[in-house]
Amino acid sequence: MIVVSEEVREALDARRPVVALESTIIAHGLPRPRNLQVALELEDVVRREGAVPATIAVLDGRPHVGLDKEQLERVANEDGIRKLGHRDLPLAVAAGASGATTVSATALLAARAGVRVFATGGLGGVHREWTVTQDESADLGLLARTRITVVCAGVKSILDVPATLQRLETLGVAVAGYGTERFPGFYLSDSGYPVDWRLDSPEQVADVMRAQDALDAPESALIVANPVPEEEQLDPGLHARVLADALHACEAEGVTGQAVTPFLLDYLVRHTDGASLSANLAAVRGNVRLAGRIAAAWAGA
C-alpha cells in the first residue's frame, strides 16, 4: 500500500539515516514557485547532514514515502492537491485522490515505513477558546500512539500553548527542549512557558529514542522542541500586536473550524510584511538540519 522510494528503502535497509518531511508546506504553505524552491532546499539540507530525505505525499491514491523531483513538482504545482490528515488517508486511497500530508498523516506514514525521525515547522495543538469550540489538532492524538521523533519549533503561536502542553502531558507524549528549558513559540524563540526536560546534542536525543524502545513503553512520540534562533525570530512586540488584531478580525469575519488556522497565519504574513514567513522558514530549516543530525546519531547506534 505504501510506496517507499528506492533511495529511502535502500537507506532503511542499510540502517543509514533518513528524515521524513511533510508536504503541506509545499502544496498549501507557500506561494508558487517559492514552494518548490523551498522543498528542494529542505531536501538538500537533509543531504548535507548525511541523511536521506523522505518527503511524504499521496499521489493518485498511493501514499509515497520519498518523492523524486517530478513528484515534488507535481505536489508544488498541480491544482486540486488536497490537504490530508491521518483520518483522510483511507478516503484518499479509496478515491484515488492526491494530497499533501499534514503532521499527523506524515508521522503515521513515516512510522509505517520505518522512518524514525521527522522534521516539521510547528505542531498543531489546542486552539484558543477550546472550552467553547472543542477544537484540538489531530496531531496530538496521533503522536500519542505513534513511535516517532518529531523535531519542531513548538506549536503554532496562534494556539493555546499552555493548554497544548497540558494535553501532551495527559496523552503521555514526551517533550524536551533542545538546548533550552523554554518551550519555543514557532515564530518566537520562547513561548513564555517552560519544559521539564532539556537535551543538548543529537546523541542525547538518540539515547532517549533507544530508552523508549528498551522500556517497551507505549508507542508515543518524542517531541524535540528546537527554538528558532533569536536573531531570526519574529519581533515579539510585533507578533503580539498583529496576532491580537488577527484574532479580532477572525471573530469579526465569522471564521470558524478548519478555516481559522490558515486565516490567522495568512493575516500574520500580510501584516508583518512577510516577516512571519521568514521566521517560519528559518525555524523549518533549523529543524530539518537538527533532524538530519539526530537521524545520523540514531543510525549510528
- Catalytic residue among 22, 43, 49, 136, which? 22
Q: Establish whether 83 is an annotated binding residue.
A: yes
Whether 156 is catalytic: yes
Q: Establish whether 69 is an annotated binding residue.
A: no
Q: Establish whether 103 is an annotated binding residue.
A: yes
Q: Establish whether 221 is an annotated binding residue.
A: no
- Catalytic residue among 43, 49, 136, 156, which? 156
**Residue 200 CB neighbours (<10 A):** 12
Whether 41 is catalytic: no
Q: Establish whether 60 is an annotated binding residue.
A: no
Q: Establish whether 8 is an annotated binding residue.
A: no
Q: What single letter denotes the amino acid at residue 164?
A: T
| Residues tagged active-site | 22, 156
Per the annotation, binding residues for Mn(2+) are 135
Annotated binding residues, as ranges? Answer: 83, 103, 135, 137-139
Q: Could you list the residues known to form a binding site for substrate, using ranges.
A: 83, 103, 137-139
